[in-house]
Chains A and B, each alone.
Chain A
Amino acid sequence: MNRESFHTIALAIIALGLAPLAAYAQAPKSDQPQDVIISRPGVLPAAVFEMTDDPGRWFKDPKSGGSLVVIKPGEAVLIKIGSGTNTNHTITSLAWQPGAAGFPIDQEKPSDSSVTHTFEKPGLYVFTCKVHPYMFGAVIVKDPKTEGLDLGAELQLVTGAKIPTTSDIAKKILLTFFVTTTPALWRDYRKPTWEVKLPDLPINLGGTVIKLSALNFSMPNTLLTPQTPGVGEVWVDTQFEGVTGKKKFGTATEVDASNWTVKQKVKGVETNMNNPHNMWSDPAYKLIYQTEWFDKKLTTFDRESGKVYNSQVVGDNPSHVMSNPLTGTLYVALNGEDRVLKLAPGEYPAALASINVGPHSGPHGHVLTDDGKYMITPNALASSVSVVDLATEQMTEIPTGGVIPIAVWPGRNNKAYVANLLGTPPAMLSSMTVIDIDAKKKLKDIDLAADYNPVSGEHKGENYGLVDRI
């Protein structure tokens, strides 16, 4: 090959080799990222709560392990439902700053949905779950210009009331929050006194700065032994007890009523029994039916030996279980759903049917009347009460306006009394709704806090707290 041809060939190869390079160089590269980036970042939360099934730590800050986070105005908090909990929840505002944008926060029904919220207005915000209404988490938005942790001048409550943070009721709410979310502060009757000591932190009540420790109190722990011994036994769901061998909490405890000693504990280690909440027995007192409120199961165990026969999925957040006095059929309220599950009694209860009690109802502590005629469900998520005619399974939902109707019991003259955990807006902080069972109608509300002045704390009667039991 002569020199000329070689040059031609070489040029040809180079040209072909360079052609793809030219295509590569087509996309202009810029040194100025600002011109080029069109994406806009979203919110990076300054604090996070992970929801768990663990007593006191239901809203858990991964940094401190506690249930209170302090942020600056303009920062965001992410409340996440993930692997820490076995169930769905709502993330619902219990108390918030009046006029704060986006409040109150709530969802129609429980789910795994997280909430990310950017807070602007300084002050205290408390969150709960409508299904498990003692799960508390709190955010304090601290104004950098003021002294102490800002609680704001006022708190808007889900009961409908707007209260000054200097009021007695605000003090009660703060104490309830701190004690509930700090297991070390829970009342231990084995000790001579109940000492509640809060940190010395300065808190700003809309201008007045006090120390949080000003709320400290001490109470004697007096245990009384009844003069007349009891007969039989009492079963208590010690729902927050931790035991070795399982990750979730809760045991069922048997107390001997003749001498008031603990006879037995059913720990549920093999089934990882999760927050046992309510029990019922069969008419022969041979079996105990146990619900798991932070899970999906109904467990049956032998009353005498504690041996677990069966643990089965019944639905989301089974709260209470009760049987029809006439037939023995079991009815399990599904607090995370809109129904009650009907099962055949026995060691291995077989599911028979679902009774719908209203959209997004979340029935909690239902009751069956002595005559076996009716089932009444307090619908914690729907501010209503449902009456079911057990013979026909026809359901009538009665709106009551109460916040988290949680328990119900029939009284005389065909009436039933429903406890509303967080009162009835606009004015009742603590209330009970009376319904006519036959007529399936609301009759009236009883204001349990009528004799209580929420600002000064003056009270004439006993009942000025949160009612959750009839």
Chain B
Amino acid sequence: MIKTRVQLGLLLAVALSLAALGGSPVVSAAAAGDHHFITLKASALPSGQLAYEMVSHKIKSPEGQERDVTGRYANGPTIPGPTLVMKEGDTAEVTLEHGVADSSQPISIHVHGVHYKIDSDGTMKVLNGAADEAAFPGKPYTYKWTAAPGTAGTWPYHDHAMGNPMVGAEDKGLFGTLIVNPASGKVPALIDGKIVDLDLSDIRREFILWMHETTFWGQELNHIVKGDKEIPLWTNPTVGARLGEKIRFHVIGIGTAIHSFHLHGHRWIEPGTTSVIDTFHVTPISRQAFVLQAGEGVGPGDWHYHCHVIQHMQSGMMGTFRVIE
């Protein structure tokens, strides 16, 4: 009997320690990640602005199960482009098709943050010395990314080839967001006045706001809808949530201007610090991702968000964070 109890105790201890490794029902020893098969197309909106659109996104788990998440995305090109979500440990092969009708110029995807070899830099040979890593009409290009440990964060991706190969046409609308979630599944957040390690699974909605010249271009990544749903919100949108929901904002700059993002009625920590702020500067391609609780301590309302640079405010660079009961 004693022998059995000791064994039971040992087994329970092991089980407990395994369960404590953060919420996943099946814990594998070396966290091998998913492999993503993504196809994007660069095309044009009716206004003539260029933008990326999702063609297909399939995810293959380490065990070999495949699921198709293409239904998550909006139809047609969007600004910002499709928001891609990976987690640390995942890999991806991203194929870009050239779909801009009256152009024979190369278009590419240059990504930030994740690991990739020189042939996936998304630049032209004149810059990388290796190859023209861009899509041409009828000739797609495939990039390989690894969301290696340490690459968690919100990263931009954008064109780096069209027009001037030194610069690309990112400011024409060819930009989008890659979110790499940490392997731990947790992010630090200021909730009810305390800094906690919040489970990403508690985050109901993510709002992606790009500060492009003097206009916000936005998107919602909704986790309440089964399978997730991306909703294009276009310019200076209303982003909405229910009181008490945990929301993650991603704010990224692009173009030539320097901005000062401010949200009324709320405050958050600069991720990785204990610094509590409600305004931060955004410069081209720099970004901040932060979590807050909608209406925390202040209640429901149409909470104003805007760039705090006076001329940008005067020109209407603003929107509403609508918090309802």
Interface residues of A (CB under 8 A from B): 1-2, 5, 8-9, 12-13, 16-21, 23-24, 27-31, 33, 36-48, 61-64, 78, 80-83, 107, 109, 111-116
Contacts and interface: CB of A to CB of B under 8 A. Distances in A.
Interface of B: 3-4, 7-8, 11-12, 15-16, 18-19, 23-25, 44-50, 167, 171-172, 201-202, 204-205, 207, 213-216, 218, 220, 222-226, 229, 231-242, 255-257, 311-312, 314-317, 319, 322, 324
A48 B48 CA distance: 7
16 contacts: A18-B25, A30-B224, A37-B240, A39-B240, A40-B238, A40-B322, A41-B231, A41-B234, A42-B233, A42-B319, A44-B45, A63-B48, A78-B47, A82-B256, A111-B311, A116-B316
Contact of A42 (B167, B213, B235, B257): B235
A37 B222 contact: yes
Contacts of A44: 45, 47, 234-235
A20 B25 contact: yes
A262 to B, nearest CB: 32
Contacts of B3: 1
A63 B47 contact: yes
* Residue picked from A23, A44, A81, most chain B C-beta under 10 Å: A44
B23 A112 contact: no
B123 to A, nearest CB: 18
Contacts of B231: 37, 39, 41
* Residue picked from B7, B50, B201, B214, most chain A C-beta under 10 Å: B214
B235 A62 contact: no
Given A17-B25, A37-B240, A83-B256, A9 B8 contact: yes
A36 B49 CA distance: 30
Contact of A27 (B49, B213, B224, B229): B224
A16 B234 contact: no
A28 B225 CA distance: 9
Contacts of B24: 20
A37 B220 contact: yes
A78 B19 contact: no
A15 B24 CA distance: 13
A17 B257 CA distance: 51
B11 A61 contact: no
A61 B201 CA distance: 44
B224 A112 contact: no
A351 B44 CA distance: 47
Nearest to A5: B4
A18 B218 CA distance: 38
A62 B50 CA distance: 9
A12 B3 CA distance: 18
B291 to A, nearest CB: 15
Contacts of B312: 113
Across the A-B interface, give the 10 residue pairs with the lowest CB-CB distance, nearest first. Answer: A38-B240, A63-B48, A113-B315, A42-B237, A62-B48, A40-B238, A44-B234, A111-B311, A29-B226, A42-B235
A429 to B, nearest CB: 30
A40 B241 CA distance: 11
B226 A30 contact: yes
Nearest to B8: A9
* Residue picked from A5, A9, A46, A113, most chain B C-beta under 10 Å: A113
B238 A42 contact: yes
A22 to B, nearest CB: 10
A5 B2 CA distance: 11
Given A27-B202, A61-B48, A113 B314 contact: yes
Contacts of B46: 46
A112 B213 contact: yes
Nearest to B226: A29
* Residue picked from A12, A19, A39, A42, most chain B C-beta under 10 Å: A39
A39 B23 contact: no
A13 B222 contact: no
Given A40-B237, A63-B47, A64-B48, 17 more contacts: A1-B3, A16-B18, A17-B25, A24-B201, A30-B224, A33-B229, A39-B207, A39-B238, A42-B235, A42-B237, A45-B47, A45-B235, A62-B48, A109-B311, A112-B214, A113-B311, A114-B215
Nearest to B14: A13
Contacts of A33: 222, 225, 229
Contact of A39 (B220, B236, B256): B220
Contact of B15 (A12, A27, A80): A12
A114 B214 CA distance: 6
B226 A31 contact: yes
A2 B5 CA distance: 11
A40 B219 CA distance: 10
Contacts of B18: 16
Contact of A1 (B7, B44, B216): B7
A39 B48 contact: no
A328 B44 CA distance: 55
B225 A29 contact: yes
A48 B256 CA distance: 18
B15 A16 contact: yes
Contact of A81 (B11, B213, B220, B235): B213
Contact of B237 (A8, A41, A61): A41
Contacts of A113: 214, 311-312, 314-315, 317
Nearest to A85: B256
